[in-house]
Amino acid sequence: MLGYIIRRILAIIPVMLIVAIFVFLLLRLTPGDPAAIIAGDMATPEQLNRIREAMGLNDPLLVQFFTWMGRLLQGDLGVSLISGTDVTTMIGQRIFPTLNMALLTIVIAVMIAVPMGVVAAWRHRSWVDYAVMSFSVLGFSVPVFVIGYLFILVFAISLDWFPVQGYASPTDKGVLAFLDRAILPALTLATIYVALIARMTRASMLEVLGEDYIRTARAKGVRESKVLFRHALRNAAVPILTVIGTGFALLISGVVVTESVFNIPGIGRLTVDAILARDYPVIQAMILLTSGTYVVVNLIIDISYTIFDPRIRY
């Protein structure tokens, strides 16, 4: 087991290396002068030079790569072209709102989605099933910012239940103030995640409910609730976990959008501001950070399979 975990952690290295190479080449292989792309059309020669210097664009490609990788390994993500601040510091300042939001979202999503999917599968082809499926398709189809603005329109402006925008840190201002401001954005973010997880739970449960051992459980006279949650859900867990992991990518793009809609000072907003300002070192750092998080989240999920399925042994 420990050996497996070590092997899995080692397997991250090539994946992250390829991501890094990709991110590195993204800028360098773009046709045209990277400095001009970053600085925009109106840049003066001095500005261009400053950018070239800052990013080491005057060196040969391989030298650039190794210098860049070397800094990266020391945790140096470069310096923002706009503010001149160290990117690592910038991320450090902005990460907590995002983390808090993301955690709240995942908890809400799993708590809503899994029971939804289970009931839909159990009552396959009933009105509950159709309702869950309709909600799920809808969740996939409405852009997250439209959902965000609709929530603001209904719950903040018309009903005045929540503040329109903003953020309060749970540690400074207290959990209630945090929740007051975080519920709407978290629900917005959760919509697509709920759609995804509910759908997978339903599909996975439908498959498991057709298995012989479910028939055996019923032949034993086991209560239906026990058949569903003890026998079926545990067997259906692995695909559900997997989709929670891969859906994490959706969560990240949702964060970027939701933070701008609700004006939350997290790393999503940081990214949007960086795009508008073409602050390439920041964009680059964000890609590396989010990819790294994605890989680690999926590693944890992979390892957690063993809890649910004793057949998976390493």
Partner 1 sequence: MAMNSVPPASAMQSVLRLLSIPGLKKLGVGPLLAALVLLAIVIITLLSPWLAPHDPLEMQPLLRLKGPMPDYPLGTDPYGRDLYSRVLIGGRVSLLIGIGAAVVSVLIGLLIGLVAGFFRMLDTIIMRIMDSLMAIPSILLAIALVALNGPSITSVIMAITIPEIPRVVRLVRSVVLTAREEPYVEAAQALGSSMPKILFQHLMPNTMAPLIVQGTYILASAILTEAILSFLGAGVSTEIPTWGNIMAEGRQYFRIKPELILWPGLMLSLCILSINLLGDTARDMLDPRLKKRGE
Partner 2 sequence: MLFKTRNFDDAKTVLDISDLVVSLPPAAKAKPVLNGISLTIRQGETVCLVGESGSGKSVTSLAVMGLLPKDALFVTGGSISLSGTDLLAQSPGAMQDMRARRVAMIFQEPMTALNPVLRVGEQIEEVLESHTKLPADERRRRVIDIMEQVHLPDVERVYRSYPHQLSGGQRQRIMIAMALVLEPELLIADEPTTALDVTTQKQILSLIAELQEKHGTAVLFITHDMGVVAEIADSVYVMNHGDMVEHAPIETLLRDPKKDYTRKLLAAVPSLTPRAARPAPGGDPVLRVEQLNMVYGGGGLFKRHPGTHAAKAVTFDVARGRTLGIVGESGSGKSTVARCIMRLIQPTSGAIRLRDSDIAQLTRKQLKPHRQHLQVVFQDPFRSLNPRWTVGRSLVEGPVNYGQSPAAARERAAELMEIVGLPRDSLDRYPHQFSGGQRQRIAIARAVAMEPDVLVADEAVSALDVSVQAQVLDLLDELQEKLGITIVFITHDLRVAAQICDDVLVMQRGVVVEQGAAADVLANPQHDYTRSLIEAAPGRSWDFANFRELGAA
Q: Which residues bind partner 2 (CB under 8 A)?
A: 3, 7, 125, 211-213, 215-224, 226, 230-231, 234-235, 308-311
Q: Is 14 in the site for partner 1 (CB under 8 A)?
A: yes
- What length does the chain have? 314
CB of 134 to partner 2, least distance (A): 21
Angle at 193 between CA 188 and CA 198, to 5 degrees: 125
Question: Which residues are within 8 A (CB) of 146 and not within 5 positions of it... i.e. 6 or more apart?
Answer: none
CB of 15 to partner 1, least distance (A): 5
State both tokens at 211: 């298995």
Q: Is 30 in the site for partner 1 (CB under 8 A)?
A: yes
Specify whether the CB–CB gap between 184 and 155 falls below 8 A: yes
**Region of residue 78 (phi > 0: left; psi between -120 and 50: alpha; otherwise: beta):** left
Indicate which single residue of 4, 65, 135, 149 sits in contact with partner 1 (rule: CB under 8 A): 149
Q: Look at residues 281, 240, 256, 251 and name the one whose alpha carbon lies nearest to residue 84.
A: 281
Contact partner, 30, from partner 1, partner 2, none, Cβ < 5-8 Å per class: partner 1
Cβ closer to partner 2: 4 or 155? 4
For 86, the 3-state DSSP assignment is: strand
Indicate which single residue of 9, 103, 153, 176 sits in contact with partner 1 (rule: CB under 8 A): 153
297-303 long-range CB contacts below 8 Å, 24 or more apart? 297/245, 297/248, 298/245, 298/246, 298/248, 299/8, 299/9, 299/12, 301/241, 301/242, 301/244, 301/245, 302/8, 302/245, 303/4, 303/5, 303/8
Question: Which residues are within 8 A (CB) of 140 and not within 5 positions of it... i.e. 6 or more apart?
Answer: 192, 195, 196
H/E stretch holding 55 reads helix 45-55
Q: Is 82 in the site for partner 1 (CB under 8 A)?
A: no
Q: Is 175 in the site for partner 1 (CB under 8 A)?
A: no
Cβ closer to partner 1: 233 or 256? 256
Indicate which single residue of 66, 140, 161, 314 sits in contact with partner 1 (rule: CB under 8 A): 140
Q: Is 159 in the site for partner 1 (CB under 8 A)?
A: no
Contact partner, 144, from partner 2, partner 1, none, Cβ < 5-8 Å per class: partner 1
Site track for partner 1 across 260-299, x = CB under 8 A: x----------xx--xx-x-x--xx-xx--xx--xx----
Where on the chain is the footprint of partner 1 (CB under 8 A)? Answer: 14-16, 18-19, 22-23, 26-27, 30, 34, 37, 124-125, 133, 137-138, 140-146, 149-150, 152-153, 157, 203, 206-207, 209-210, 246, 249, 252-253, 256-257, 260, 271-272, 275-276, 278, 280, 283-284, 286-287, 290-291, 294-295
